[in-house]
Homo-oligomer: A and B are copies of this chain.
Amino acid sequence: MAQKRLLMKGNEVIAEAAIRAGCRNYFGYPITPQTEVMHYMAKKMVQIGGNFVQAESELAAINMVYGAASAGFRAMTSSSSPGISLKQEGISYIAGAELPAVVVNIVRAGPGLGGILPAQGDYFQATKGGGHGDYRNIVIAPASVQELYELTVEAFNLADKYRNLVMILGDGTLGQMMEPVAFRDEEPIVTYEKPWATNGRGYNDDGSYKREHNTITSIYIDPDVLEVKNNELQAKYELIRQNEVRYEAIGLEDAEIVITAFSTCSRISRNVIRQAAELGIKVGMIRPITLWPFPTQAIADAAAMPNVKAFLDVELNAGQMIEDVKLAVNGAKPVYFHGRLGGNLPTQKEILDKIVAIHEGGKV
């Protein structure tokens, strides 16, 4: 049974959700606008006997996660854009060593030190690999505080299930806002055996070892071995692509224009759909919940629908997810773009104006 709705800050909900998901190991370094995740953890972990370490840097934090995950424990870190850039080597290592881990990026405006207000400029970094080599993070984009909670819990399950890094890609809006959240009485935690964990070989009663030594590594110096390893990784990613795509589709059945938007932009767009309907323009939306794996098929299917005349991609960046949208649409319909930069959010009016322009401009 769902409990009462509490008004809570997004960042704190992430922390609470992680704890509910059984995560007892948080390693982080402060940065706006995600600091409340840390503050919450700093208090709670001490109270419940978990581990909270304020690392000396984001690099150290991600590598502490690497260590705790190697030992077989649920572990997480959180940061915001510049800090996430610093974690890229570590993220690539986690991919190479196939460790389950959860990383939260409450994105702020960049590049460089940039600003501290919300943005979605780290989409490419998160989904295509900001680190080196061929790897994929599962990337989840919640759109409300309630989803921050549910999807954070889910993130830990997915991480363990696939021995993969799961990134929660939020933006400053989600992290800083308060919204009602209803916690469940019991979390749907799935427990996975981790026979690979490096937690000590252990001794039998006769003094012999319980098992051979385990090793966690990402180096395979022989290219043939590394190629096999890489192909296995790719096969795992294919499996994830098949099983874990999540998205929300609204009003596709009669939409003339389909908005693609995630997280904060999808919230604003939802209101626009209502407004457009008042103007007699039928607008639908596909909201990717997993940014990777991307809902390519859903978008391709929508692109094949005769009622759908165009797509409008809305992002808090200069146009990043739009590439994945276009790859899915594959030329079948035009794809337009509206974006805001620097920490500003698009208004409903801006988006509506764009919709009207597309609709009227004979472009539909």
B115:A92 contact, CB within 8 angstroms: no
Q: Chain B residues near A320 (CB, 8 Å)?
A: 128, 134
- Shortest C-beta distance, A338 to chain B (Å), equals 14
Q: Chain B residues near A94 (CB, 8 Å)?
A: 112
A135:B111 contact, CB within 8 angstroms: yes
Q: What is the count of identical protomers in the complex?
A: 2
Q: Chain B residues near A55 (CB, 8 Å)?
A: none
Chain B CB within 10 Å — which of A85, A317, A327 has the most?
A85
Q: Does A227 contact B (CB under 8 A)?
A: yes
In the assembly, what is the distance between CA of A228 and CA of B229, in Å? 45
Q: Chain B residues near A107 (CB, 8 Å)?
A: 132
Among residues of B, the one whose C-beta sits closest to the C-beta of A221 is B115
What 1/0 flags go to A116-132 for Cβ under 8 Å of B?
Answer: 11010110110011111
In the assembly, what is the distance between CA of A344 and CA of B226, in Å? 9
Count the A residues whose beta carbon is within 8 Å of the partner chain — how many?
68
Q: Does A326 contact B (CB under 8 A)?
A: yes
A225:B342 contact, CB within 8 angstroms: yes
B226:A109 contact, CB within 8 angstroms: yes
Q: Does A271 contact B (CB under 8 A)?
A: no
Give the contacting residue for A112; candidates B81, B109, B110, B218; CB below 8 A.
B218
What 1/0 flags go to A70-109 for Cβ under 8 Å of B?
Answer: 0000000000011011101100111111000000000101
- Shortest C-beta distance, A221 to chain B (Å), equals 6
Q: Does A199 contact B (CB under 8 A)?
A: no
Among residues of B, the one whose C-beta sits closest to the C-beta of A84 is B132
Among residues of B, the one whose C-beta sits closest to the C-beta of A88 is B85
- Shortest C-beta distance, A331 to chain B (Å), equals 3
B130:A342 contact, CB within 8 angstroms: no
Among residues of B, the one whose C-beta sits closest to the C-beta of A120 is B134
Q: Chain B residues near A231 (CB, 8 Å)?
A: 341
Q: Does A254 contact B (CB under 8 A)?
A: no
Q: Does A360 contact B (CB under 8 A)?
A: no
Q: Does A223 contact B (CB under 8 A)?
A: yes
Q: Chain B residues near A84 (CB, 8 Å)?
A: 132
What 1/0 flags go to A46-90 for Cβ under 8 Å of B?
Answer: 000000000000010000000000000000000001101110110
Within 8 A of B (CB), among A207-250: 217-231, 233-234
Q: Chain B residues near A343 (CB, 8 Å)?
A: 223, 226-227
Q: Chain B residues near A124 (CB, 8 Å)?
A: 124, 128-129
Among residues of B, the one whose C-beta sits closest to the C-beta of A83 is B89
Q: Does A332 contact B (CB under 8 A)?
A: yes
A218:B114 contact, CB within 8 angstroms: yes
8 cross-chain pairs, A with B, having the tightest CB-CB distances, nearest first:
A110-B133, A96-B112, A112-B218, A331-B331, A227-B342, A111-B133, A223-B343, A226-B342
Known: A93-B113, A114-B218. 5 other contacts (CB 8 A): A86-B89, A110-B132, A111-B133, A129-B130, A225-B342
A-B contact pairs, 22 of them (CB 8 A): A86-B89, A88-B125, A88-B130, A93-B112, A95-B111, A96-B113, A97-B112, A109-B223, A110-B133, A111-B129, A113-B219, A114-B220, A114-B226, A116-B221, A121-B132, A128-B320, A134-B317, A227-B342, A229-B342, A234-B341, A323-B323, A323-B327
